[in-house]
Amino acid sequence: MMIASKNAILRYRIIDRCIRSTAFPFPSKKELREACEEELYGSQNGSHICDSTIEKDLFAMRNEHDAPIRYSRKEKGYYYTDSEYTIDEIPLNDKDVDAIKMAANVLYQFKNSNLFQNFDFAISKILDRVNISNKIDDKEIDNFVQFEKVTSPKGGEFLEGLLTAIKQRKKVQFEYQAFKSEQRSIRRVHPYLLKEYRHRWYVIGKNEIKDRIQTFGLDRVLSLQLLEDQFEVDQAFDPDRFFKYSLGITANVGDPLQIKVATDEVLSKYLLSQPLHFSQTYLGEEDGKFLFEYFLLPTYELKQQILGFGSEIKVLSPPSFVEEIKSSIEAMKSLY
């Protein structure tokens, strides 16, 4: 039996759904291709899936999954000779079951968040369907897989309301207390994006009073009100580019720098296996040190990351960032 790729399996299910449709019966090869491309890639121009791919999928569905697919010359489209057939009834293999259960347990770590509670029933249904367990937090898996325990941070109760506001482009108003101030203030914001970083949630949006884009930690939001007023998204805001050269949630502050560091051998292996940032470039070894280069904003989060590596890393350039790190180290030394 041929082993289908993940994309192929997704296409099989889309094709299956189209063939079983009572609203649009007898789909043609062209319609099947367009449906697959629309659902998987958001387009129908044929740049990702061709007719021959659909032909191979239909052949595989017949031969590997016993799909009773026939072509009607009269209707000029495909149909099932057995109207009760569905590819959804095909059992998952052991690898599929393990993957689903691990993903479900990861999601379950966020069970106390209102937004993620909406998925609880759906995930439980999936687990029941594959006969794993009717308890999403089944403790048996702890015998051989240990998940990071995540406590739901304060502010998670505002996720659902903010997501609604973002989708509907509704202004929001909330009471906010910054870490550096005991004073509470009212912020009116055009919410653009929700971002999670180190198990904390943040909303990025335009501060209506200051007329600039800011990041607000949900753990510092004390109350939330969705307003009826709508807003237009600032065309200059691009969520993919906003944090492109940032490590963490600080962004849009100054210009990225070409940052060069030297590490010991152990840390170099860690960075090569798990880069700090997509801009990471390995420059090779020199005098027993391993050199890396990044194109990043010198954010608070980046400095904390570097300081956290301790003596395993040294910032070589630019001079301005070297001085920032040296100042932080001196301040740390003064505490002891």
Supply the pTM of this predicted model: 0.60
Per-residue pLDDT of 188-203, as tens digits, reads 999 999 988 887 889 9
- Encoding tokens for residue 336? 């002891």
In the numeric block, the tokens 């999403």 are attached to: 136
Q: Name, in order, each residue with C-beta under 8 angstroms of 110's C-beta and a sequence gap of 6 or more.
A: 116, 150, 152, 156
- Residues with Cβ within 8 Å of 7's Cβ and at least 6 positions away in sequence, in order, are 40
Confidence of residue 3 (pLDDT cuts 50, 70, 90): very low
* % residues pLDDT > 70 (the chain): 77
Closest CA to 254 of 245, 263, 262, 241: 245
- Domain chopping of the chain, boundaries: 6-89, 94-143, 156-242, 257-333
Which residues make beta-bridge pairs with 313? Answer: 263
DSSP state of 55: H
What is the edge-to-edge ordering of all strands in the sheet holding 313-317?
Answer: 281-286, 289-296, 257-263, 313-317
- What pLDDT sits at residue 124? 60
Phi, psi of 62 (to 5 degrees): -70, -45
CA 32 – CA 13 distance, rounded (Å): 11
CATH entry, 6-89, from 2.30.29, 1.10.3860, 1.10.287, 1.10.10: 1.10.10
Starting at the earlier edge strand, list the strands of the sheet with 170-176: 212-217, 200-207, 185-197, 170-176, 221-230
Please determine, looking at this structure, whether the domain spanning 156-242 carries the CATH number 1.10.10. Answer: no
Contact 161, 218 (CB under 8 A): no
Measured in degrees and rounded to the nearest 5, phi and psi for residue 278 equal -65, -25
pLDDT band at 45 (very low <50, low <70, confident <90, very high): low
Whether pLDDT at 1 is above 60: no
Q: Does 313 score more than 60 pLDDT?
A: yes
Q: With 90 as the cut, is the pLDDT of residue 137 above it? A: no
The 10s digit of each residue's pLDDT in 61-117 is 999 888 999 999 999 999 999 988 888 766 666 666 666 666 666 666 665 566 665
Alpha carbon distance 232, 209 (integer Å): 15
Residue 65's alpha-carbon distances to 1, 3, 61, 68, in angstroms, are 10, 12, 5, 9
Helix (H, G, I), strand (E, B) or coil at 111: coil
Mean pLDDT is highest, among 31-40, 74-83, 139-148, 190-199, for: 74-83
Q: Evaluate the omega torsion of the peptide bond into residue 256 and state whether it is cis, within 30 degrees of 0.
A: no
pLDDT score recorded for residue 90: 63
Q: Of all residues in the chain, what percent carry a pLDDT higher than 90? A: 42
Residue 201 CA to residue 218 CA, distance in Å, equals: 6
Pick the CATH number of 257-333 from 1.10.10, 3.30.70, 2.40.10, 2.60.40: 3.30.70
* Residue 46: both structure tokens together: 């044929």
Whether 135 has a pLDDT exceeding 70, the answer reads no
